[in-house]
Homo-oligomer: A and B are copies of this chain.
Amino acid sequence: MNTATYTVEGMTCGHCVSSAKEEVGEVAGVGGVEVDLATGLLTVTSDAPLDPARVAAAVEAAGYRLAVGS
């Protein structure tokens, strides 16, 4: 199991958390997604390592962005 963490910017409420989780959860290979609103921490688990660009694209599709360097 691989676990990667990112920081998401722009989420303001629980609806935002749900949207981000749903979009990242649809990335091929993702097994689990956790998002903490207060910190913006996005934790993604997968069987094989994921391309961070695909995670970033999913976060952007939900309407948010990854913090630079996260």
Interface residues of A (CB under 8 A from B): 12-13, 15-16, 19
Contact = CB atoms under 8 A, between A and B. Distances in A.
8 contacts: A12-B12, A12-B13, A13-B13, A13-B15, A13-B16, A15-B15, A15-B16, A15-B19
A interface: dominant SS: helix
Given A15-B15, A15-B19, 6 more contacts: A12-B12, A12-B13, A13-B13, A13-B15, A13-B16, A15-B16
Contacts of A16: 13, 15
A17 to B, nearest CB: 10
A63 to B, nearest CB: 8
